[in-house]
Structure 1
Amino acid sequence: MANERHLPMRPLWGCDTCRADWPCPAARLALLAEYHNDRIALRVYLAALMAEADGQLSQVGRNADLYRRFLAWV
């Protein structure tokens, strides 16, 4: 569905719609569209979410390349 919002499920940071690691491909497209005029603001927003995810994922013992997942694609 085109209007589905792909939001993170905390504390595991999976997509609440498609269950992929968040930000999933659909969330990435939506974020790029939302921040199309301000990539710096998008990076700042994602860096804050990455820091939150790092704290939560470390508590549940899930290690991941969060930089690649949250920032490298921007």
Structure 2
Amino acid sequence: MMDPTLVITAACLVGICVVAFALLRAWQGWLELKRQELERASNKITSGPEIEGGASAGAARIELADMKERIKKLEAIASGVEL
């Protein structure tokens, strides 16, 4: 028959192979994630942010509307009109 030590050794070897394979797959997945993050970051840099600080298009419109409102208030103050 088979020696118990041989069975335990074979089981340990199979277990180590399974763990090594799982760790290898996890490592490859992590590398792919980092590769995608780098691609996203490089695409963001090449497209350029719409306004300073890298705000999105919606935030840029809101900030632009706020600036226009401030300019109207300043022009009213400069001309002496009370709002």
TM-score by length of 1: 0.31
Structure holding more helix per residue: 2
Where relative contact order (Cα < 8 A, 6+ residues apart) is larger, the structure is: 1
Structure with larger Rg? 2
TM-score by length of 2: 0.28
